Amino acid sequence: MHHHPAPWSTPAEQPVLEQGNIHLWRFRLDLPTAEVDQLKQLLSIDELSRAERLLDPFKSRSFIAARGRLRQILARYLDIAAETIHFSYGTSGKPSLDASHTSDLTFNLAHSSSWALLGIGKRHELGVDLEVIDQELVFSKIAAQFFSKEEVSRLTAIAEPRRRRSFYRIWTRKEAWLKSQGWGFSGSPNKMIGDRPGKGWQSRNFPVGRGCVGALSFSNEVVSILRFDGD
């Protein structure tokens, strides 16, 4: 029988993350203004200035909602107030919990349009990616540039109506893996060509919302993935 992971469920108020498990959270970012304003109170000075630098009001609100929710969810694991969480940033800007928290939690966050996806692990490096399917995107050009020959031929073998979604499934798996390694497209687009998780790594897709494809990349020590609704 094909093994399906449990669908998105409601988590405990204080979720417990066992070694070898990853918790994958999805939550919406198109929140009422009052709620975004509340989440804004949780952000640090540097997060607020980043939000201000985003000139598109939708992007700015999404960033505030994503960071506010990230803080709220991590606070449940750490059992501290959301506004007291400190992040440090890797070379490509990937946030992690500051060493002052003395916690073994690792996480990665992705958002696209009105959805966000958050992976949380215990000492595992992991990466997530999320893309809303764009019906206008000329994806064959992108595939030719960034996908391996094998991936391109796999893609062209798929019937036309399903090909666009398949492109996004491959793309998000690659991007999730790059993020798990601390890179991102912005850092090194040439890293994409023929890249796939090395030995000991795997990437999997998850449907997040309508027309929205998510992916998680993780090491083989992971035995179980639990999916939670963060709303």
Give, for all 231 residues of the chain, the pLDDT tens digit. 444 555 899 998 999 999 999 999 999 999 999 999 999 999 999 999 999 999 999 999 999 999 999 999 999 999 999 999 999 988 777 889 999 999 999 999 999 999 999 999 998 889 999 999 999 999 999 999 989 899 999 999 999 889 999 999 999 999 999 888 876 554 444 455 445 566 788 999 999 988 999 999 998 888 899 999 997
Q: What is the pTM of this model?
A: 0.90
Torsional class of 215: left (φ above 0), alpha (ψ -120 to 50), beta (otherwise)? beta
Give the C-alpha separation, 163 to 187, whole Å. 27
The answer to whether residues 48 and 40 touch, using CB atoms and an 8 Å cutoff, is yes
CATH class of 21-229: alpha beta
What is the helix, strand, coil percentage profile of the chain, to 5?
A: 35, 25, 35
What residues contact 230, with CB distance under 8 A and at least 6 apart? 11, 25, 26, 27, 69, 73, 116, 118
- What is the structure's pLDDT at 216? 96
The answer to whether residues 127 and 216 touch, using CB atoms and an 8 Å cutoff, is yes
- What is the structure's pLDDT at 82? 97
Q: Which two tokens stand for residue 18?
A: 């066992």
Q: Which two tokens stand for residue 190?
A: 């040439």
- What is the structure's pLDDT at 46? 94
**b/e 197-226 (16+ beta carbons within 10 angstroms → b):** beeebebbbbebbeebbbbbbbbeebeebb
- What is the structure's pLDDT at 136? 95
The answer to whether residues 63 and 50 touch, using CB atoms and an 8 Å cutoff, is yes
